Amino acid sequence: MPDIKLNSPLQFLKGVGPRKAEILARCGMHTVQDLLAYYPRLYLDRTNVVPIGKVKIDEYATIIGEVKAHGILYGKRRRYEVILQDDTGAISLLWFQGIRYWERLFKKGQKFAATGVVGYFMGTQMVHPDLERLDEDSDRMVHAGRIIPVYPQTAELNKVGLSSKGMRKLTSYVFDNLKEKLPDYVPEVEYTGYGLPSYHEAVAGIHYPDSREQIETCRRRLSFDELLKLQFFVYRNKGKKAAIVKTHRYLKPGEKLTWIKKMLPFELTPAQKKAVREIFTDLQKEHPMSRLLHGDVGCGKTVVAVLAALYAAENNLQCSFMAPTEILAEQHYRNWKKPLEDVGVRVGLVTSSLKTARKKKTAEWCADGQLDILFGTHALIYDYITFKRLGLVIIDEQHRFGVEQRGKLYAKGDNPDLLVMTATPIPRTLTLTLYGDLDVTTIDTLPPGRKPVQTVWRTSDALPQVYNFIADEIKKGGQVYIIYPLIEKSELLELGNVEEAYRELARTVFKDYRVALVHGRIKAKERDDILKRFREGATDILLSTTVIEVGIDNPNATVMIVENAERFGLAQLHQLRGRVGRGDKPAKVIAIAHKPISEIGRKRLEFFASENDGFKIAEADLMLRGPGEIFGVRQSGLPELKTADLWRDRDLLEGVRLLLENIYTNYNTLDNKYLKLYNYLKTRAAGLDLNLGGG
């Protein structure tokens, strides 16, 4: 009997050897414990296999079928296609990478299980599905009602016999001969309350579950641990900042602030006033501020941030104000230059497309302190930009920047105050989790007089009427956006593209109107001119991709059409909608869906049409899509979550937070069990443990 321990190197396990060990190591698996943290990515059983003829567009499905044909398809992008068939129909599986590998893998008549999101392009398809070769064995297992774990696969792993089946063999061998249990750092009372198993049971169950319910409880236990580490990581950063003392001190707000408030064309809303108060109070403190300012699209965050910048300037400190696009940075600069200069504050702008001479001059002025507020894009983080006394860093649409970029800008000052803003509101669960190290200011009302944007959705059959409506709107003096998902025609996606639409519409239905085209591949300078003309009313219809998503302000634009709206996420649709209804005229958004429309797509559009509240939209989006894409978890610098789902597991998140708070407040009288947990978390977090393993 071999003696397998958790820290046994994999190389010496039966059937592994140096070659396999090397490949495993490249996937992050060195010891038995690492291997056990390599969880299956999905499970096959009779309950989740859908007949091929019954798959639904946009839904995640597993199908089982025989290879009917396979081969390379040539076109703009080479791809490998496999036709998989069962008694009810056929589906096309597609790969754009690893063609040579796939070529060798498939043989006619072989059986495979494929799992992925069903798409549609002249028939149903799956792009890059998870694939499991079904031999006699597994085929029989599925039909006998067993659950088969499918492991994440790479061509490399497959090559050395560590396909899903190989991994199953290896893990089951390990479990059979493991001489110790996986250690559990969480005190038992903490997880049994949720009906969760011990850590060891959870890991065993995730590899070899007997039922779907077991997979879920095991997943939840692993999530509990994952969330615990995540939350600890966030809190740890919070503690660090609180220990720093700023070198600068703020005096009471002075005349400049009073003047500029008088000059504003509007009165601040109570929510804005409260936000300003919170930020100013923070600035006056001896520890650096770390504050998140969020609220619905158009709630007026910019003016709040500008007042903060002005307060810094009054106190003889510089402020850098970073925005994610040139358009936005310039817009901020243009809008605020005059009022700020009128009260004696010197402002500058730096973006990559400005002339070198101008950038150099700006950099010089900034370095010797002649500029108070420097607006800009990520160009602000380049080394040639330095500050004499950077006291406040403002980052607009912060989720658009990576941690590193934010860090670089921050490092240009001596522990400056930090204010970050997001484009859309963030659900509470997430502000506490992802931004637990920040204090949060929420602007929860819109400026007065805003009429809610009327939103409807239609299928593409209605386009002729929609075009008529656009024409009427322009005759009434309005301006229109039409948004497309793609820039140019794609072979992979059957979606509208803005270039083709422009060529077509500008010479047919809209030939009597002034139509313009804008997208991300147009040079920044030209793009700005196009937007400027639109803003000045020299263009009636602007065809665009989502480049106009953030920040663009044209109060006279009253209508927005979104083509292929079924393809956009809720938060993004809401963000796009924020581009209209910024003036006093009533505004309308028409979301156009193209058939076939999935059930989920339909629900999403109905929700979008019926809900104007960005906070509700954000929650629904989190629930429908998961937080990764939306809130840039991946960029946030926090550990990536393997099993936890911030929405589904929000009860655990709450529990984890209480547990940690309990540990912090009672640190001096902690029970041994909790001390052990605390020390464990500390060592895990110490190495900036971005890769949460299982143990």
Instruction: Evaluate whether 269 touches 415 at the Cβ level (below 8 Å).
Output: no
For the chain, the 3-state helix, strand and coil shares in percent, each to the nearest 5, are 45, 20, 40
Is 440 a binding residue for ligand ADP by CB under 6 A? The answer is: no
Sole window of 182-190, 261-269, 404-412, 661-669 interacting with ligand ADP (rule: CB under 6 A): 261-269
Q: Which two tokens stand for residue 368?
A: 């010797």
Q: φ and ψ at 414, to 5 degrees?
A: -100, 95
Q: Which residues in 543-572 contact Mg ion (CB under 5 A)?
A: 551
Q: Which two tokens stand for residue 333?
A: 């600069």
d(CA 270, CA 276): 10
Q: Which residues in 493-552 contact Mg ion (CB under 5 A)?
A: 551
Q: What residues form DSSP beta bridges with 293?
A: 421, 441
d(CA 638, CA 650): 17
**Considering the complex, what minimum distance in angstroms separates the CB of residue 252 from ligand ADP?**
23
Q: Which two tokens stand for residue 406?
A: 């934010």
Is 266 a binding residue for ligand ADP by CB under 6 A? The answer is: yes
Query: Which CB, 253 or 300, lies closer to ligand ADP?
Result: 300
Q: How many CB atoms lie within 10 A of CB 176?
A: 10
Sole window of 195-203, 263-271, 464-472, 680-688 interacting with ligand ADP (rule: CB under 6 A): 263-271
**Considering the complex, what minimum distance in angstroms separates the CB of residue 335 from ligand ADP?**
8
Place of tokens 């290896």: 170
d(CA 461, CA 374): 49
Is 268 a binding residue for ligand ADP by CB under 6 A? The answer is: yes
**Considering the complex, what minimum distance in angstroms separates the CB of residue 447 from ligand ADP?**
3
Is 302 a binding residue for ligand ADP by CB under 6 A? The answer is: yes
How many residues sit close enough to ligand ADP to count as binding (CB under 6 A)?
Answer: 15
Instruction: Report the partner that residue 297 touches, choosing among Mg ion, ligand ADP, none (CB closer than 5 to 8 A by kind).
Output: ligand ADP
Q: How many CB atoms lie within 10 A of CB 172?
A: 13
Instruction: Evaluate whether 181 touches 33 at the Cβ level (below 8 Å).
Output: no
Q: Which residue is nearest to Mg ion (CB)?
A: 551
Instruction: Report the partner that residue 588 touches, choosing among ligand ADP, Mg ion, none (CB closer than 5 to 8 A by kind).
Output: none
**Considering the complex, what minimum distance in angstroms separates the CB of residue 301 from ligand ADP?**
3
Query: Which CB, 23 or 303, lies closer to ligand ADP?
Result: 303
Q: Which of 220, 301, 406, 588 binds ligand ADP (CB under 6 A)?
A: 301
- Lay out the site mask for ligand ADP across 551-570 (x = CB under 6 A, - = otherwise): --x-----------------
Place of tokens 């609180």: 242
Is 574 a binding residue for ligand ADP by CB under 6 A? The answer is: no
Closest of 309, 311, 329 to residue 319, by C-alpha: 309
Query: Which CB, 529 or 553, lies closer to ligand ADP?
Result: 553
Q: Which residue is nearest to ligand ADP (CB)?
A: 300
Amino acid at site 430: L
Q: Which two tokens stand for residue 363?
A: 């950099």
Q: Which of 70, 220, 527, 582 binds ligand ADP (CB under 6 A)?
A: 582
**Residues 6 or more apart whose Cβ sits within 8 Å of residue 679:** none
Q: Which of 105, 303, 354, 592 binds ligand ADP (CB under 6 A)?
A: 303
Is 164 a binding residue for ligand ADP by CB under 6 A? The answer is: no
Instruction: Report the partner that residue 413 touches, choosing among Mg ion, ligand ADP, none (CB closer than 5 to 8 A by kind).
Output: none
Q: Which of 10, 91, 299, 542 binds ligand ADP (CB under 6 A)?
A: 299
Is 209 a binding residue for ligand ADP by CB under 6 A? The answer is: no
- The greatest distance separating any two alpha carbons of the chain, rounded to the nearest whole angstrom, comes to 86
Side-chain-facing half-sphere of 553: CA atoms under 13 Å: 14
Side-chain-facing half-sphere of 269: CA atoms under 13 Å: 18
Closest of 417, 560, 598 to residue 484, by C-alpha: 560
The residues that touch ligand ADP, with contacts defined as CB under 6 A, are 266, 268-269, 272, 295, 297-303, 447, 553, 582
The residues that touch Mg ion, with contacts defined as CB under 5 A, are 551
